[in-house]
Amino acid sequence: MNKYEVVFILRADLSEEDNKAIVSRFFDSIAKNGGLLTKIERWGNRKLAYLIDKQSRGYYTLWEVISDVTTIKELERLFRIEERVLRYLVVILQKAVKAEEVEAAKELALTLDTPPVTAEVAAVETPQAEAVSPEQAPAVVNEADNLSETKTETETTNQ
pLDDT one-digit tens code per residue, 135-147: 544 444 444 455 5
* Rounded Cα distance, 123 and 143, in Å: 41
Q: Do you know the residue count of the chain?
A: 159
Evaluate whether 78 touches 25 at the Cβ level (below 8 Å). Answer: yes
Grade residue 5 by pLDDT with cuts at 50, 70 and 90. Answer: very high
- Sheet with 55-67, strands from edge to edge, namely 85-94, 2-11, 55-67, 36-52, 117-118
Q: Return the closest-CA partner of residue 97 out of 3, 24, 26, 20.
A: 3
pLDDT one-digit tens code per residue, 60-105: 999 998 889 999 999 999 999 999 999 999 999 888 877 777 777 7
* Rounded Cα distance, 132 and 136, in Å: 6
**pLDDT for residue 151:** 53
Strand 2-11 and strand 85-94: the pairing is antiparallel
**pLDDT for residue 12:** 93
Residue type, 157: T
What element of type H or E holds 103?
helix 99-108
pLDDT one-digit tens code per residue, 99-122: 777 777 777 666 666 555 544 444
* Rounded Cα distance, 9 and 44, in Å: 9
* Rounded Cα distance, 58 and 75, in Å: 19
Residue type, 60: Y
